[in-house]
Chains A and B, each alone.
Chain A
Amino acid sequence: MRFVSYVLARMRPENLLCLTPQGLCCRPAGVHVDPTRAVERALITHAHSDHARPGHGHVLATPETLRIMALRYGPDFAGSTQPIQYGEVVTLKGGVEVSFHPAGHVLGSAQILLEWNGYRAVVSGDYKRERDPTCAPFSPVRCDLFVTEATFGLPVFRHPPAHAEIAKLIASAELFPERAHLVGAYSLGKAQRVMALLREGGWQRPIYVHGAMTAITDFYLSEGIALGEIRHVAPEERKNLGGEIVICPPSALQDIWSRKFPDPVNAMASGWMRVRARARQSGIELPLVISDHADWDDLGRTVLETGAQDIWVTHGAEEALVYWCEQNGLRAKPLHLVGYGDEEADEIAAPVEGT
């Protein structure tokens, strides 16, 4: 017992995880987690493009993540792949044991637990604690080092209950039955969550989707997630969609594509909608504060629940969360990882052109 605690006290988090130009690296196992450039061996937390890039030699990820990557990048997105179920333990080089645990972010998203010589590190990728009918709920994993995101790492970000935001959307569609309600939502995860929440909120009409998200949505349906009747928006049909709810990528809201709808109400489902200036800047009339990331309270709660003494903050508003951890007696440091962004913030800031 004495010996074990001696070893633990000697073990520094940097022995297990370190930063390389490719991203976060587990040297003893010879793997990278969510590398931002092509590497030999990669562990992928979830399929959002800033975390899951094509071109790696070997990829270990949940079956859903692997299937979505294949859908987005084609079947040859990596040299070889290996699916791992939630809770399954795989032993890597150097005796490092790895297991994946639900992160509650999108379908297939996982936190990755790396265990070596009794030392446990969890790389959480992106995660949220709020209920989401389209993916497995986050489960806290005890560890010594917790690597967390901080996308919404400021105490102004407290996400309201998502069903209340959806109720606003439904009320608006009922008050303005002649206007199409366009909802900007990230194509993977957020869009399908909004659809599922609309069904829970009592919206029974068909939900229309932009062409850019039909493939992912069909994938969700094929995974057995109930979303009700989903219809692809046919270009010539746009003018007839008054009173309907149409889900599209955020960039499509400002796109020429949106012009043909009858007097559209521009809505957006994003945690950024909490801040008025952000919503206004994106030209949104109906902001819906619905996020797939942990809010400030949940970041702090999660950090404490893991029991970790070392907290590394990968991306987002690192400064405030690091400060908060230190105030709570934890060792914390920002990683300033370049290459991760919030998938939505990127889309909101740089609209793509369409025709």
Chain B
Amino acid sequence: MNRFAALLDRLAYEPRRNAKIRLLADYFRDTPDPERGIALAALTGGLSFQHAKPNMIRTLIGERTDPYLFQLSRDYVGDMAETVALMWPAKHGVNYVPTLAEIVAGLNEASKADLPARLASWLDGLDEVGRWALIKLITGSLRIGASARLAKTAVASMGQDISPDDVELVWPGLEPPYLELFAWVEGRSEKPESNNPAPFSPPMLSTAIEDTANWREALDPKDFAAEWKWDGIRVQAVGGRDADGRRVARLYSRTGEDISGSFPDIVASVNFLGALDGELLILRDGGVQSFNVLQQRLNRKTITTKLIDEFPAHIRAYDLLSADGEDLRALTFEQRRLRLDAFLAGAPNPAISLSPQIAFTSWDDLTAARADPASHGAGVDADAVEGVMVKRRAAPYVPGRPKGEWFKWKRDPFNVDAVLMYAQRGSGKRSSFYSDYTFGVWADGEEGEELVPVGKAYFGFTDEELLKIDRFVRKNTINRFGPVREVTHEPDEGLVFEIAFEGLSRSSRHKSGVAMRFPRISRIRWDKPPREADRIGHLEALLAPLV
């Protein structure tokens, strides 16, 4: 367990994706079965424990420490689990370190009454980091900056020519401690059979249309079909039958993660045999809601009926990969689209609908539709449209990002001129640079015009520009708060950024009352004095009126 804990500890501090993958792979290589398989289950969210609750930990530490000293420590550390891990009194003579596998087995078999004593004995046997990891593990807050996808990518990296998608494909048929999986990537046995009756298919992805030179001339509109690009999450809804003939339904994310547990409403409505590719959205009051609304349904630990009622999930389907056991991916997009129409018409489903196509004959037509989706067929759903998708009629469904087949053409971002107010040092390669910028716009304050922060951006500039901004920050610092510097922001002195962003929503967490989506720096206005930056009214005008 201490080795696993050390891994989690290191991952929590490591900002680089590739370094995380190496740390994970290094752990998997060093650690024997079944320990590493249990660790993989923990990292991919495959473990949950019924009885262990934060309260139990609180009781245990209360029996072992002085309440006043605990209070002082808790205030200093700022995190309950960490305080307990650090303060837990060492028990001399305990030298047996439990393995992760033992702990997980113990957690599963212990009764509620039995659990505190077991927990205490494990905590006695572990070191500070081990205790921290154990408490995080059982309280379900294993937020360590490594996703399930990253762990699977690390497993794939242990093999020869095995891609993360390959791991994803065999994954649903596997169970902890994943002995066949490790045997396969280590070249000791064949690829595990995928006996998943509702398998995931790696998706076909698009490229930005602007990346094709002279695309308006190079591409012939007759060869393409267009549909709305929805601002939701890409999913695959798959229905199948298991060996006993029972129906199986699964919902997958774009990367092949099984997200069925988060959307029981969608899974329950999968009444077909086949695989649909589409966008998961919230459909409420007769219209598709914006991404901000969808976000309130995502990343919830427990899915309540109330949550489902309040945020009903819906799929706008745009492709059909298989139907009744027939693989359709070799067909052209146009053929698949006809099959999709018929498929949905044959089995009406309130949770799934067809993503409509946009009629156009010239790129100018499509330009107009993209500029104003509401009056070109998207109607009340226009809030959830973030551009258009352009798909070659003759293209088969090819996993990955084949060139020249599917294009995304996102709508133009919004822009605002804002003033740099605070700068923070970045992490990793940027740890010596002030690279994270908080910017503000003008608003009426108690003493006249003042800047209110409206967002934070940390990309959109070149390395060369970063050097220049970093120099500006260092020369114009008026205050320091740990890693953060306040930078001069007066009407005639300061730095203006042109910020591009994808959308805006109301936010009670921000002083300005608004929160931006995907803000980034589109231009640095060295020429512009801060007094000419935008006012908050410019942003408020973009907000949808409160209903």
Interface status of A279 (Cβ within 8 A of chain B): yes
Assess whether A276 is in contact with B432, with CB atoms less than 8 Å apart: no
Assess whether B65 is in contact with A155, with CB atoms less than 8 Å apart: yes
- By a CB distance below 8 angstroms, the chain A residues around B255 are none
Interface status of B534 (Cβ within 8 A of chain A): no
Report Cα–Cα, A282/B431, bound state, in Å: 10
Within 8 A of A (CB), among B423-444: 425, 427-429, 431-433
Interface status of A327 (Cβ within 8 A of chain B): yes
Assess whether B432 is in contact with A158, with CB atoms less than 8 Å apart: no
- By a CB distance below 8 angstroms, the chain B residues around A158 are 86, 90, 128
Interface status of B35 (Cβ within 8 A of chain A): no
- By a CB distance below 8 angstroms, the chain B residues around A256 are 432
- By a CB distance below 8 angstroms, the chain B residues around A22 are none
* With known contacts A158-B86, A283-B425, A349–B76 Cβ distance under 8 A: no
Assess whether B68 is in contact with A323, with CB atoms less than 8 Å apart: yes
Assess whether A274 is in contact with B86, with CB atoms less than 8 Å apart: yes
The one of A176, A284, A286 in contact with B22, judged by C-beta atoms closer than 8 angstroms, is A176
Within 8 A of B (CB), among A223-272: 253-259, 263-264, 266
Report Cα–Cα, A255/B70, bound state, in Å: 37
Assess whether A156 is in contact with B86, with CB atoms less than 8 Å apart: yes
Report Cα–Cα, A339/B212, bound state, in Å: 65
Q: Mark A11-23, 1 if CB is under 8 A from B, else 0.
A: 0000000000000
- By a CB distance below 8 angstroms, the chain B residues around A353 are 474
Interface status of A285 (Cβ within 8 A of chain B): yes
Report Cα–Cα, A274/B19, bound state, in Å: 22
Assess whether B77 is in contact with A156, with CB atoms less than 8 Å apart: yes
Report Cα–Cα, A172/B10, bound state, in Å: 10
- By a CB distance below 8 angstroms, the chain A residues around B65 are 155
Interface status of B23 (Cβ within 8 A of chain A): yes
Report Cα–Cα, A176/B429, bound state, in Å: 15
Assess whether B12 is in contact with A276, with CB atoms less than 8 Å apart: yes
Give the total number of A-B pairs whose CB atoms are below 8 A apart. 88
Interface status of A281 (Cβ within 8 A of chain B): yes
Q: Which one of A155, A156, A287 has the highest number of Cβ atoms from chain B below 10 Å of its Cβ?
A: A156
Residue total for B at the interface (Cβ-Cβ under 8 A): 39
Assess whether A276 is in contact with B79, with CB atoms less than 8 Å apart: yes
Within 8 A of B (CB), among A130-174: 154-158, 160, 168, 172
Report Cα–Cα, A263/B18, bound state, in Å: 12
Assess whether B13 is in contact with A154, with CB atoms less than 8 Å apart: no
Tell me how far the C-beta of A281 lies from the nearest C-beta in chain B, rounded to whole angstroms.
5
Question: Which residue of chain B has the shortest Cβ distance to A156 in the bound complex?
Answer: B86
Report Cα–Cα, A172/B6, bound state, in Å: 12
Interface status of A301 (Cβ within 8 A of chain B): no
Q: Mark A318-350, 1 if CB is under 8 A from B, else 0.
A: 011001100100000000000000000000011
Assess whether B10 is in contact with A286, with CB atoms less than 8 Å apart: yes
Interface status of A275 (Cβ within 8 A of chain B): yes
Tell me how far the C-beta of B55 lies from the nearest C-beta in chain A, rounded to whole angstroms.
21
The one of B68, B82, B482 in contact with A281, judged by C-beta atoms closer than 8 angstroms, is B482
Tell me how far the C-beta of A351 lies from the nearest C-beta in chain B, rounded to whole angstroms.
9
Q: Mark A166-197, 1 if CB is under 8 A from B, else 0.
A: 00100010011000000000000000000000
- By a CB distance below 8 angstroms, the chain A residues around B83 are 156
Residue total for A at the interface (Cβ-Cβ under 8 A): 42
Report Cα–Cα, A281/B77, bound state, in Å: 13
* With known contacts A155-B87, A253-B431, A285–B15 Cβ distance under 8 A: yes
Interface status of B353 (Cβ within 8 A of chain A): no
Interface status of A205 (Cβ within 8 A of chain B): no
Interface status of A277 (Cβ within 8 A of chain B): yes
Interface status of B186 (Cβ within 8 A of chain A): no
Q: Which one of A176, A275, A317, A323 has the highest number of Cβ atoms from chain B below 10 Å of its Cβ?
A: A275
The one of B14, B66, B425 in contact with A285, judged by C-beta atoms closer than 8 angstroms, is B14
Tell me how far the C-beta of A177 lies from the nearest C-beta in chain B, rounded to whole angstroms.
11
Assess whether B128 is in contact with A258, with CB atoms less than 8 Å apart: no
Assess whether B128 is in contact with A254, with CB atoms less than 8 Å apart: no
- By a CB distance below 8 angstroms, the chain B residues around A279 are 13
- By a CB distance below 8 angstroms, the chain A residues around B82 are 275-276
Interface status of B342 (Cβ within 8 A of chain A): no
Question: Which residue of chain A has the shortest Cβ distance to B23 in the bound complex?
Answer: A175
* With known contacts A266-B431, A283-B427, A349-B482, A275–B77 Cβ distance under 8 A: yes
Assess whether B22 is in contact with A175, with CB atoms less than 8 Å apart: yes
Tell me how far the C-beta of B4 lies from the nearest C-beta in chain A, rounded to whole angstroms.
15
Interface status of B72 (Cβ within 8 A of chain A): yes
Interface status of B218 (Cβ within 8 A of chain A): no
Report Cα–Cα, A320/B10, bound state, in Å: 30
- By a CB distance below 8 angstroms, the chain A residues around B76 are 154, 156, 275, 317
* With known contacts A275-B77, A281-B482, A175–B72 Cβ distance under 8 A: no
- By a CB distance below 8 angstroms, the chain B residues around A317 are 72, 76
- By a CB distance below 8 angstroms, the chain B residues around A255 are 432
Q: Mark B62-86, 1 if CB is under 8 A from A, else 0.
A: 0001101110110011110011001
* With known contacts A175-B22, A284-B13, A156–B87 Cβ distance under 8 A: yes
Interface status of B286 (Cβ within 8 A of chain A): no
Tell me how far the C-beta of A180 lies from the nearest C-beta in chain B, rounded to whole angstroms.
12
* With known contacts A285-B13, A286-B10, A154–B128 Cβ distance under 8 A: no
Report Cα–Cα, A230/B155, bound state, in Å: 39
Report Cα–Cα, A353/B473, bound state, in Å: 13
- By a CB distance below 8 angstroms, the chain B residues around A277 are 77-79
- By a CB distance below 8 angstroms, the chain A residues around B128 are 158, 160, 274
- By a CB distance below 8 angstroms, the chain B residues around A176 are 19, 22
Assess whether A285 is in contact with B428, with CB atoms less than 8 Å apart: yes
Question: Which residue of chain B has the shortest Cβ distance to A287 in the bound complex?
Answer: B13
Assess whether A283 is in contact with B72, with CB atoms less than 8 Å apart: no
Report Cα–Cα, A10/B77, bound state, in Å: 42
Assess whether A258 is in contact with B432, with CB atoms less than 8 Å apart: yes
Report Cα–Cα, A274/B129, bound state, in Å: 9
Report Cα–Cα, A350/B82, bound state, in Å: 26
Report Cα–Cα, A287/B65, bound state, in Å: 27
Assess whether A175 is in contact with B69, with CB atoms less than 8 Å apart: no
Assess whether B483 is in contact with A283, with CB atoms less than 8 Å apart: yes
Interface status of B502 (Cβ within 8 A of chain A): no
- By a CB distance below 8 angstroms, the chain B residues around A320 are 69, 72-73
- By a CB distance below 8 angstroms, the chain B residues around A254 are 425, 431-432, 483
Report Cα–Cα, A313/B78, bound state, in Å: 24
Report Cα–Cα, A279/B79, bound state, in Å: 14
- By a CB distance below 8 angstroms, the chain A residues around B480 are 350
Interface status of B26 (Cβ within 8 A of chain A): yes
Report Cα–Cα, A265/B15, bound state, in Å: 10
- By a CB distance below 8 angstroms, the chain B residues around A168 are 6
* With known contacts A155-B69, A266-B431, A280–B13 Cβ distance under 8 A: yes
- By a CB distance below 8 angstroms, the chain A residues around B482 are 281, 349
Q: Which one of A253, A282, A285, A324 has the highest number of Cβ atoms from chain B below 10 Å of its Cβ?
A: A285
Q: Mark B127-150, 1 if CB is under 8 A from A, else 0.
A: 110000000000000000000000
- By a CB distance below 8 angstroms, the chain B residues around A156 are 73, 76-77, 83, 86-87
Question: Which residue of chain B has the shortest Cβ distance to A285 in the bound complex?
Answer: B13
- By a CB distance below 8 angstroms, the chain A residues around B86 are 155-158, 274-275
- By a CB distance below 8 angstroms, the chain A residues around B427 are 283, 285
Question: Which residue of chain B has the shortest Cβ distance to A157 in the bound complex?
Answer: B86
Question: Which residue of chain A has the shortest Cβ distance to B129 in the bound complex?
Answer: A160
The 10 closest A-B pairs by CB, nearest first: A156-B86, A156-B73, A285-B13, A283-B431, A258-B432, A259-B432, A155-B87, A320-B72, A154-B73, A155-B69
Q: Please give 8 more A-B residue pairs, beta carbons under 8 A apart, in addition to A319-B72, A327-B66.
A: A154-B73, A175-B22, A175-B26, A254-B432, A257-B432, A274-B86, A275-B86, A281-B483
What is the interface of chain B, defined by CB distance below 8 A to chain A?
6, 10, 12-15, 19, 22-23, 26, 65-66, 68-70, 72-73, 76-79, 82-83, 86-87, 90, 127-128, 425, 427-429, 431-433, 474, 480, 482-483
Sample 9 A-B pairs with CB under 8 A, ordered by A number. A154-B69, A155-B69, A155-B70, A156-B73, A156-B86, A257-B432, A259-B432, A275-B86, A283-B431
